[in-house]
Amino acid sequence: MLTLKKKTAEYIASAAASAFGEGLLSADDVLGMLEYPPDRTMGDIALPCFRLSKILRRSPVQIAEALAGGIKCEEFSSVSAVNGYLNLKIDGTAFAKRVVSDVFRDGDSYGSPKNGEGKTVVLDYSSPNVAKPFHIGHLGTTVIGHSLKLLHEFAGYECVGINYLGDWGTQFGKLIVAYKMWGDKAVIEEGGVDELVKLYVRINNEIKAEEDSNEEKKSPLADASRAEFKKLEEGNEENLALWRWFVDVSLEEYQKTYKLLGIEFDSYKGESFYTDKMPAEVEKLRNMGLLEIDDGASIVNLEKWNMPVCLILKRDGSTLYPTRDIAAAVYRKGEYNFDKAIYVTSAAQSLHFAQWFKVVELMGYDWHDQLVHVPYGTVSINGAKLATRTGNVILLKDLFAEAIARVKEIAREKNPDEAKCQEIGEKVGVGAIVFYYLSNNRMRDINFMMEDALSFDGNTGPYAQYTYARTCSVLEKAGMDGVMTDAPLSELESELAKTISVFPERINQAIADYEPSVVTRYILDLCAAFNRFYHECSIANCDDAQLKSSRIALTRATNQVLRTALHLICMQSPEKI
Ligand code: ARG
């Protein structure tokens, strides 16, 4: 794939070879030095030649002049040397022709860096804790994680999406006690995970009340919960059956949200799966002399790396979150032989990951540097922060339900077909939330404003989908495919072609930085460039047959790239809104 910069870099490298000799300057070296000048009157691409003085042993002015004289390419309308800069101006028409032909040639894979072939990436994301609410704090891990999976797939990686369900731990003891005391099978079958959460919240409140009622903070309910969890761990049939049921009820609910987002996981192996895989790793740690006893607990001391100790076993010998993550990573390496294992969680867990990554390194696993933690910032809604423990949270499904309901209402004004309205509501409402969320750098804390997300005016998901639908309707009206001709193009058209041409670079950057928001912002650039073109130029009604053909081809290329880009951030692209 030759993007604009790459192609330019190749021309410059070959001009440098003839002017100064072979082997001094590679196209890759040049590529890293090229800039897009902020002032476009100077040119579309520039090379600051002072960076080459050392290698080529000439002054920047001499270098720029020699290079300018050596570049011959019809895609540049002018090549000039100004104060040690090599400025290149693109010939819009020739350039657009080439870009659009690249897009049509590559089809749905246009923009793929194609550098993942033969490599495997394992992505651990979403991973809610069963029986605790699946709330908007999980939006980040779910959509960033899935978008990273789609981006890696696009680049040709073999991807394994893992939902590492929080399906083990003392919360199940509590839930079993709560269910036995207050639970009703029919109510849970009817109400699903919400009813489980209610039981969970209720027992937590009652435990707290018990603890607060006496000096020693004793709680018979907490003791009973521990006992039930112990029974579960020992394989008690009744508790195991309840546990399985709780997990199934929860999963069924999560699936609804995943379905709306178009997410499917390749594995649901949750924390419980690793119960019998931890002892071997603990044993290895012990044999390597890495474990220390600290107040009865077994820990790995990470003082040398300026981190608190990593807890491996509690005083009572039970395992912990890091213990499970270590065992899971070892298992996944064996199972998938990954080249990269990505974990997407809130930044609150950054220390946890830094700690156990270090432990894996100390254990001598040479793949420790293939582990990548991708953190993200907090989410609040309309200014209100979340409180998870009290059950006072906004559930992900409620957030989507509200967005869907609002879009449906608007759709109903124009569309009498209820099923169609539901479909639009889902595609646009869910897309609005995803787009809004992925508009910001992932580390930024987000304050979610529903009104802003759903607006058709701003830089929103509905606006992007609307622009896509507009390209579809132009193409439908045109009734022909269109090819690029030699009809001279205006500034607006070549701007659109330039925007299309930078798509591959943006994809590279999104993958390198684990940052889907790069794609979201690209979508906005592309929509803006297309809409300017659309408003100023008549497309299907253009009188000049040559120009009309080029404009339709440009619209078709936009349509294709926009669809690909929306897909990569987990969004649908409805043809009509
Ligand atoms: N279940 C955890 C939570 O909700 C997230 C798990 C992240 N993945 C991991 N391998 N630790 O906080």
Q: Residue 312 belongs to what H/E stretch?
A: strand 310-313
- Reported as a single tens digit per residue, the pLDDT across 462-492 is 999 999 999 999 999 999 999 999 999 999 9
**Mutational pocket test of ligand 1: of 122, 125, 349, the residue with most ligand atoms within 8 Å of the beta carbon:** 349
- DSSP 3-state of 342: strand
Q: State the Cα–Cα distance between residues 254 and 164, nearest whole angstrom.
A: 13
Q: State the Cα–Cα distance between residues 197 and 379, nearest whole angstrom.
A: 21
Q: Tell me the average pLDDT across 61-83.
A: 91
Report the separation in Å between the CA atom of 345 and the middle of ligand 1, taken as the mean of its atom positions.
Answer: 7
pLDDT of 414 reads: 87
**Mutational pocket test of ligand 1: of 123, 124, 126, 127, the residue with most ligand atoms within 8 Å of the beta carbon:** 127
- Reported as a single tens digit per residue, the pLDDT across 165-192 is 999 988 999 999 999 999 999 999 999 9
Neighbours of 569 (CB within 10 A): 28
Is residue 392 over pLDDT 80? no
Residue 39 pLDDT class (50, 70, 90 cuts): confident
Report the separation in Å between the CA atom of 288 and the middle of ligand 1, taken as the mean of its atom positions.
Answer: 27
Report the separation in Å between the CA atom of 125 and the middle of ligand 1, taken as the mean of its atom positions.
Answer: 8
Q: State the Cα–Cα distance between residues 94 and 44, nearest whole angstrom.
A: 14
Report the separation in Å between the CA atom of 325 and the middle of ligand 1, taken as the mean of its atom positions.
Answer: 9
pLDDT of 79 reads: 94
Is residue 391 over pLDDT 80? no
Is residue 345 over pLDDT 70? yes
pLDDT of 316 reads: 85
Name the packing angle between helices 491-501 and 92-106 (round to 10°): 40
- Reported as a single tens digit per residue, the pLDDT across 267-307 is 999 999 999 999 999 999 999 999 999 999 999 999 999 99
Ligand 1 atom at minimal distance to the Cα of residue 138: 4
pTM of the model: 0.91
Report the separation in Å between the CA atom of 502 and the middle of ligand 1, taken as the mean of its atom positions.
Answer: 35
Task: Name the token pair of 238.
Answer: 């009744």
pLDDT of 385 reads: 58
Is residue 339 over pLDDT 70? yes
Ligand 1 atom at minimal distance to the Cα of residue 346: 12
Judged by phi (left if over 0) then psi (alpha if -120 to 50, else beta), residue 213 lies in alpha
One-letter amino acid for residue 496 of the chain: L
Is residue 17 over pLDDT 70? yes
Q: Tell me the average pLDDT across 530-542.
A: 96
One-letter amino acid for residue 502 of the chain: V
Considering just the CA atoms, what is the radius of gyration of the chain in Å? Answer: 29
Ligand 1 atom at minimal distance to the Cα of residue 352: 11
Which protein residue has the closest C-alpha to ligand 1 atom 5?
127
Which protein residue has the closest C-alpha to ligand 1 atom 11?
325
Q: State the Cα–Cα distance between residues 226 and 204, nearest whole angstrom.
A: 13
The answer to whether 66 and 19 are in contact (CB under 8 A) is yes
Task: Name the token pair of 131.
Answer: 């029986």
Q: Tell me the average pLDDT across 74-92.
A: 91
Ligand 1 atom at minimal distance to the Cα of residue 345: 7
pLDDT of 395 reads: 87
Report the separation in Å between the CA atom of 554 and the middle of ligand 1, taken as the mean of its atom positions.
Answer: 44
pLDDT of 386 reads: 54
Residue 33 pLDDT class (50, 70, 90 cuts): very high
Q: Tell me the average pLDDT across 24-38.
A: 91
More confident residue, 65 or 449: 65
Ligand 1 binding site (Cβ under 6 Å of any ligand atom) = 124, 127-129, 164, 166, 325, 343, 345
Ligand 1 atom at minimal distance to the Cα of residue 328: 10
Task: Name the token pair of 155.
Answer: 């680049």
The answer to whether 95 and 73 are in contact (CB under 8 A) is no
Report the separation in Å between the CA atom of 574 and the middle of ligand 1, taken as the mean of its atom positions.
Answer: 33
Q: Tell me the average pLDDT across 401-426.
A: 92
- Reported as a single tens digit per residue, the pLDDT across 358-386 is 999 999 999 999 999 999 999 887 766 55
pLDDT of 220 reads: 96
The least confident of 292-296, 316-320, 400-404, 486-490 is 316-320
Report the separation in Å between the CA atom of 507 and the middle of ligand 1, taken as the mean of its atom positions.
Answer: 27
The least confident of 190-194, 238-242, 306-310 is 190-194
Which protein residue has the closest C-alpha to ligand 1 atom 4?
128
The least confident of 21-25, 80-84, 429-433, 487-491 is 21-25
Token pair 């479909």 in the structure block, residue: 423
Report the separation in Å between the CA atom of 127 and the middle of ligand 1, taken as the mean of its atom positions.
Answer: 6
Report the separation in Å between the CA atom of 346 and the middle of ligand 1, taken as the mean of its atom positions.
Answer: 9
The answer to whether 23 and 31 are in contact (CB under 8 A) is no
Mean pLDDT of all residues belonging to the chain: 93
pLDDT of 1 reads: 38
Output the CA torsion sign for 231, 233, 236, 237: positive
Helices (H) and strands (E) in the chain, counts: 22, 12
pLDDT of 156 reads: 98
**Mutational pocket test of ligand 1: of 164, 250, 323, 326, the residue with most ligand atoms within 8 Å of the beta carbon:** 164
Whose CA is closest to 547, among 472, 492, 485?
Answer: 485
pLDDT of 390 reads: 46
DSSP 41: T
Report the separation in Å between the CA atom of 379 and the middle of ligand 1, taken as the mean of its atom positions.
Answer: 17
Task: Name the token pair of 518.
Answer: 């790069």
- Reported as a single tens digit per residue, the pLDDT across 85-120 is 999 998 999 999 999 999 999 999 999 999 999 999
Q: State the Cα–Cα distance between residues 377 and 396, nearest whole angstrom.
A: 17
- Reported as a single tens digit per residue, the pLDDT across 423-458 is 999 999 999 999 999 999 999 999 888 888 988 888
Q: Tell me the average pLDDT across 65-89.
A: 91
pLDDT of 389 reads: 46
Percent of the chain with pLDDT over 70: 98
Which protein residue has the closest C-alpha to ligand 1 atom 10?
325
Report the separation in Å between the CA atom of 353 and the middle of ligand 1, taken as the mean of its atom positions.
Answer: 10
Measured CA distances, 457 to 45, 454, 460 (Å): 32, 9, 7
pLDDT of 7 reads: 84
